[in-house]
A and B are shown apart, each in its own frame.
Chain A
Amino acid sequence: MTTAGSPLVVEHLGKRFERTVALEGLTFEVRPAELFGLVGPDGAGKTTLFRILTTLLLPDTGSATVLGLDVVRDFWAIRARVGYMPGRFSLYPDLSVEENLRFFAAVFGTSIEEGYSTIAPIYRQIEPFRDRRAGALSGGMKQKLALSCALVHRPDILLLDEPTTGVDAVSRREFWDLLAELKASGLPIVVATPYMDEAARCDRVALMQRGRVLAIDAPSAVGGRFPHPLFAVRGGNRYAALQLLRAHPHAFSAFPFGDELHYSDVRSDADPGTIAAEVRDWLRSGGFGDAVVTPIRAGIEDTFMALMGAPEEIGA
């Protein structure tokens, strides 16, 4: 069932590499002008999915359309209309900034001048360095050049595979600001990231783990899928408090979360305030006299961890 006008439709997509299942029964749809996030760690299948969508790899099962074109039948037509930024730095380090951009424009039969209005918001920031070798750029500037190269032929959809991996927190923020600008121009964007905090910048996200989708929702709604009452815990030695929380008879999980601990409790029907007071007393009687326990809403990372189950075993 393909909805008319969806820039991207994926149905029951599957792909194996020998014994490894890379994608299994993947189904989702991107809406017009949507900023859609694929959020998950290495091994989730994000790169395999992008390679199928950009017609570089054939799926084993299922189907996908990009801009209404089939990724297998219409591969030639898709390639001219997709902007793709692969996960690894994909530019020519010995060419200058401008030479890289001119090369990518030429491959698509266009020029920097023709594409300038599209790339301007990004390219202007690195244009002062246009004669610098791409290999000599800082991490943040490399990302901006790669994004310019992916945009120079004015694509109708943008696919970005982990554009911010290994990039510092400041440059990551700036990059997401640029994506918000592009999105405002109506361009649909699919972006993969292992950073859970970046999911909040998307319209909707698919949480992915080991080739499967765990959940698809608006970032603000993802936390509602957390299966149990959740609490933030402060006070005392973090590591020791964590052990004590895990030993609680009703514990579902306890994890460090920045300067807090997040504790969830299997008593889903009980009043959260009552649980909080009881867990606080448990900690205080265990030697954490200043423990503070507060009911909270689950975030994306809480939900991801609850849905992903146990980390991968070896030989499984």
Chain B
Amino acid sequence: MVKPTSEPPERPTTGSRRSRALLGPVATVFATVETGSWRTVRPEVDFSACSQCGVCRTHCPTAVLEIVEDQAECVVIAWENCKGCGICANVCPKGCITMVEEGNRDAH
């Protein structure tokens, strides 16, 4: 909470040529909310059953699933943004994704 001051802010100076302050409502910073903190369940992939079809990746609203072909852990999830919605588990044609209780976060 900003404390109200009794004086109005100082008149802004024109500033240097290279940096300038834009006037009015404008967003200039590309930001990411830590939506991973929302989830209460998380997707667990049975890698041995995964056919790397990519259906999970196509339907993930947050696009946090990556298919990595040349490794055992063929589905990689960006945990900082996975909301635990469960769509990946629901659409997987092999049924190889299960939603499990979000465990102790410190372990990740």
B partners with A: no
